[in-house]
Amino acid sequence: MNREHSIALLNQAVADELAAVHQYMYFHIHLDDLGFAPLASLFKQTAIQEMGHVEALSERILFLKGDTEMAAAGEVEKITEPALMLAKAMAMEEGSARDYNLWALECSKNADAASKQIFEKLIQDEEGHFDAFEKQHENIQRFGPNYLALQSFGANAGAHVAVR
């Protein structure tokens, strides 16, 4: 096994996951500020899952006697329109799943079954994230911009009711 090759792939995945954490928390903060609690929560929970991915990847890197490069793959895009946020998130998840599929194959060729299995697990998670974002995006397209406001109103309806 070529440890350096596996470490390089794992570190690229760390960079992608960190970029997702930063981007999704940016989306969460802005959506929460707009009062779109359910969608804000989806981005926050996904960011937390992505942090778990960073941890799993880093543990493997350290096992292989490498060092984790804690640098995000890119800058946060300043997107504040919910439908565009979802489109960006879908593209990120789709790209990660594609890359992780390729990297799992490379790890297999490199006789690194454990790293391959990590990438395969991440693929399942990224596809799940894509599905959740796609459903919200389709609902905005189907029901219009009021979809998020109505969804948030329903989620917070009891929060402002006085108890007698």
The pLDDT tens digits for 10-67 are 999 999 999 999 999 999 999 999 999 999 999 999 999 999 999 999 999 999 999 9
pTM: 0.90
Tell me the residue type at 18. Answer: L
At position 139, the amino acid (one-letter code) is N
**Which class does domain 3-157 fall in?**
mainly alpha
Asked which of 21-25, 100-104, 149-153, 159-163 is least confident by mean pLDDT, the reply is 159-163
What are the sequence ranges of the domains in the chain? Answer: 3-157
Give 120's contacts (C-beta < 8 A, 6+ positions apart): 100, 104
